[in-house]
Amino acid sequence: MMKVVLAAGCVGFCATTVAALATDPLRVRQHDRQFDRRELTVRTGEMVRFSNDDPFLHQVYVESRQFSFDSNEQFQGEAIDVTFDRPGSYEVLCGIHPLMSVRVDVVE
């Protein structure tokens, strides 16, 4: 009987967590030719939304052996959702503005 109660609690918790991730991803904004933070720590498998809040192009990318992605040209108001599914430390850069960078630490 006790096991059943515990299982029900876990199911409720898990459903809440999934709903929160689906509707409210972590966000990193690109504004004034900068990311809105210098570093970010996420759990493996967590999603981050990189949005372009500038009236010009950005191109957010990571290039490493373990993990890479490229948004290609990102227009004003566009966003890309990136799931960091490999633990590690990654420099997220902009292909258009070389001074932009944010480090994402992906922990187990």
> By Cβ distance, which residue is nearest to Cu ion?
94
Nearer to Cu ion, 46 or 51 (CB): 51
- Cβ neighbours of residue 38 closer than 8 Å, sequence gap 6 or more: 101, 102, 103
CA 85 vs. chain centroid, Å, equals 10
Q: How far is the CB of 97 from Cu ion (least distance, A)?
A: 4
Considering only residues 71-100, where is the footprint of Cu ion by CB under 5 A?
94, 96-97, 100
Considering only residues 32-71, where is the footprint of Cu ion by CB under 5 A?
58
What is the number of H-type helices and E-type strands within the chain? 1, 9
Interface ranges with Cu ion (CB under 5 A): 58, 94, 96-97, 100
